[in-house]
Structures are given as structure tokens and as C-alpha cells.
Amino acid sequence: MSGFQPRDLLRRKPVGASEAHAAPLHRAMGVLHLTMLGVGGTIGTGIFVALTAAVPRAGPAVIVSFLIAGVTAALTALCYAELSSVLPESGSSYAYAYATLGELAAFMIGACVLLEYAVSGSAVAVGWGQYLNELLVDLTGRGLPDAIAQPPGHGGYFNLPAVVLVGACMILLLRGVRESAMVNTILVFAKLAVLAMFAVIAFAAFQPRHLSPFAPKGIGGVGAAASTVFFSYIGLDVVSTAGGEARDPQRTLPLAIILALVIVTGAYLLVATAAVGAQPWTEFAGQDAGLAVILRHITGQAWPSIVLSLGAIVSTFSVTLVTIYGQTRILYAMSRDGLLPPVMRKVHAKSQAPALNTMIVSAAIALLAAFFPLDVLVNLTSLGTLAAFAVVSLGVIVLRRTRPDLPRQYSAPLYPVLPAASVAFCLYLIVGLPWTTHLMFVVWLSAAAIFYFAYSHKRAVLAASPAAG
């Protein structure tokens, strides 16, 4: 390439382009493992971690907030299912944007997805530390000192439990995708059992008076809470990052995305309804390890709280594992296309996993979890997730118009109304986030743009073969 041309920003990666320039990943996952990947990366964050932040904003109407977030995720999941059947490769929304909207848009969406995974993994690791502390209180009567259990600004200096969790996930991922998927599947069934136990006990103490007033903060509070909890649907995106490691991806990816959505939304609505019916909404504010505390108050005994805390520890381990996995595969895909340094696509000969990539990602997530509070992390994750979801939905419209000839094993229904509605819902939830979150997001995207123009556009694989783009 003799020099930069504005049209380079619109270079599009051909659908079905060869990936011979990158070491292949091991195709080891079928429908069950992929579905559990989506459930494992989703259930846990919205219920175990973000519920106590969302209820003070919406009151009992947080049930509606979860429903709004679920509808938005459902619209987007159908769009994901279509694109995953056409572009069954690692990279998820980044890869879809590269094939539909062009290179610059793809890079920026890749930056959004990297942000959402890094911050989501950090947020969940912080929540994991809260439940670990609650478990220690139940078992021994004493928790960890705030100095090593809280981030700066919240009474501590360094969140050690969160760092330990990220390190354990890194070790498991370095062993390979087959082992990681198997462990995640076991953990998902365990967390579903624990949530079922919570729902049974909480519904036994359900009091209709706790639902009044239903929406004390009005429709604005309901929307703000929906924006906050939306980050918990990140697991749906993780499924499509596994395109390079899925068996028969054109069939298994769409099916796994839809199955994961059904399981997740049902569980969220069930547990949220049980929680706000069992405890006055005003008591949720500042309540760490909220579900465990609710069970202790209901039963007056420690054992339900202990079981719930153990379940939350297992659950959030699973979510952190999946989000770290997703981020490493996005980095692998971007490096494969030449937009990031080659070190991110190096695959270990034995485990067939991007080992150094995994170590770098884990170190970054551990630092975020150690030094940043939960509320900041949750809102940033929601914004990154919503931006990626909106682009995926837009990509369905673009690809239908530019490549109507492509074979699609699954097509999103009600085109173009459904993908357009998905974009609209995402924008609505983005507007509901705090302005400080928008500011941090703009700073992140500005840094990404600088990196793209300084490094990526010159080294892109498409830059070496312009005709391909």
C-alpha cells in the first residue's frame, strides 16, 4: 500500500476468507458445550452481582428492567444467530462488522468488545470476592480485612480475592478449550441448582406488600436499572466468539445462542421476582452478597446462606472463566487479521490455545478487579456490550442487502423490523447510562482510534492484498 487512502477504512473482509495465515484452533465444542458457554457467561452477573445495584434504582419494578434487558437481548440474539450461520469463525461481533461495515468499524467494535469482556470479567471477580467474604463470615464469624478485600475508595487498597480468581481461571484456560468447556458445563448445572434452591426458599417468604410501590423511581428508574443489568447478557456474545472451536458451527452456533437466551432469561425473571418479594426494596442498597443475606434473614439460619454463597462462588468463577475466554478469542481474531501484534495469535502446540494472549488478558483483568469499584465496572461493561449488540443487528441489515445470495442455515424473522428494533432498544439503554460512563467510553474509543491509525491500518492482512477487500 503506497499510502493511506480514506477508502481503506471501508475495506471489508470477504465472507469465507481463508485463515491459513493463522494457526487453527481446536474444534472441540458441540451444542451442549456452546449452550453452557452462553449460560455460564451470563447467569451469575445479573443475579449474584448486579441485582443489589439495580433494585435501588427501579424498586420492585426491577423485574420489568430484567424483562426489558431480556427483550433487547432476544432481538439481538436472533441477529447473532443469523450472522453466526453465515460467518462461523472466531471473532463474534468484530468479525461480523469486518464483513459488513468495513475495517475501521470492525476495529472500533473490536475495541468495544475487548472493553466489555475485560471490565465484565473484572466486575464479576469483584462480586466473587464479596460472596467469598460472606461465606467466611458464615463459617468463622470473621471476614477478610477491607485492606485486601476492597478496592481504593471503598475502604481498601487491593482486592486480593479477585486477583486469585482471575489467576485460577487463567490456569484452567491454559490447559485447553476442551477441559475449560467441561469444567464450565459442570459449574453451570451447579449454579442453576443453587438458584432453584434460592427461588424455592424466597417464594416461601414472598409478601405482596414488598412490591408496593412497584416503581418508586418512575419509568426513568426502570430504564436506568435495565441499562445497568444488561451487561449480564454478555454471555450470548461469548458463544459466537467460539466459532473457530465449534463443531458444525453453521448449525450449532445459532442453536446454542437461542437455547442459552431462553435459559438465562427464565432464570433471571424467576430469581429477581423471588428476591424483591422476599425483602423490601429499600434494603438492597449497599447490600453485598445480596442473595445470601436474603436467605439468612428469611430462615434465621446460616446453612442456606452458606450454600448460596458457595453457589455464587462457583457461578461467578464460571462467568469469569468464560469472559476471559471470550476476550482472548477476540484478540486472536484481530491479530489473525493483522490489526493487532502477532503475539496475540500464537497458539500453544499442545493445548492449541493462545497461551501468551491468555496470560496478558488475565493480568489486565486482575489489575482492573484489584483497583476499581464494582459500580464503575458494571456500567462500562453495559455500554460496550450494547454498542457491540447494535452493530451486530445493523450487520444483519447490511449483509442482507449486499450479499442476499449467501446461504443462511438460520434467518432472523420479521426482517427488517426485528434488527431495526434491536438497534433501537440498544440505543435506548445506552442513553440511560450515566454521563461519566459515556465520557470514559469516548476516551477508550479515542485511544483505540489512535492505535488503529498508528499501527493497524498499515499491517492489516487486507492492506497486503487490497483486491480482497
> For 312-367, what is each residue's pLDDT tens digit?
787 778 888 888 888 888 898 899 889 999 988 888 777 777 888 999 999 988 88
Q: What is the DSSP letter of 246?
A: B
* Whether the predicted pLDDT of 1 surpasses 50: no
Of the pLDDT bands very low, low, confident and very high (cuts 50, 70, 90), residue 237 is confident
Q: How far apart are CA 224 and CA 215, in angstroms?
A: 12
353 near 327, Cβ under 8 Å?
Answer: no
Q: Nearest 5°: phi and psi at 302?
A: -90, -30
Q: How far apart are CA 40 and CA 172, in angstroms?
A: 15
The structural domains of the chain, with segments of one domain joined by +, span: 27-459
Q: What is the mean pLDDT of residues 138-160?
A: 76
Residue 127: exposed, middle, or buried by beta-carbon count in 10 A (0-12, 13-18, 19+)? buried
Q: For the chain, give the mean pLDDT.
A: 82
One-character DSSP codes across 79-144: HHHHHHHH--STTHHHHHHHHHT-HHHHHHHHHHHHHHHHHHHHHHHHHHHHHHHHHHHHHHS---
Q: Which of 3-7, 229-233, 243-247 is the least confident region? A: 3-7
- 247 against 331, higher pLDDT: 331
Q: Which of 72-76, 211-215, 241-245, 408-412 is the least confident region? A: 241-245
User: Among residues 455, 457, 453, which one has the least CA distance to residue 469?
Assistant: 457
User: Among residues 247, 227, 298, which one has the least CA distance to residue 46?
Assistant: 227
Helices (H) and strands (E) in the chain, counts: 19, 0
- 126 against 234, higher pLDDT: 126
197 near 309, Cβ under 8 Å?
Answer: no
User: Among residues 17, 122, 117, 145, which one has the least CA distance to residue 464?
Assistant: 17
Scanning the structure block, which residue is given the C-alpha cell 434452591? 197
| Cα separation values, 39 from 232, 233, 286, Å | 10, 9, 27
How confident is the model at residue 376, as a pLDDT? 62
User: Check: CATH 1.20.1740.10 for 27-459?
Assistant: yes
* pTM over cut 0.75: yes
User: Among residues 193, 160, 180, 171, which one has the least CA distance to residue 43?
Assistant: 193
Q: How far apart are CA 44 and CA 316, in angstroms?
A: 6
Of the pLDDT bands very low, low, confident and very high (cuts 50, 70, 90), residue 420 is very high
Q: What is the mean pLDDT of residues 216-220?
A: 89
Of the pLDDT bands very low, low, confident and very high (cuts 50, 70, 90), residue 378 is low
- 351 against 419, higher pLDDT: 419
SS3 of 272, please?
A: helix
* Whether the predicted pLDDT of 22 surpasses 60: no
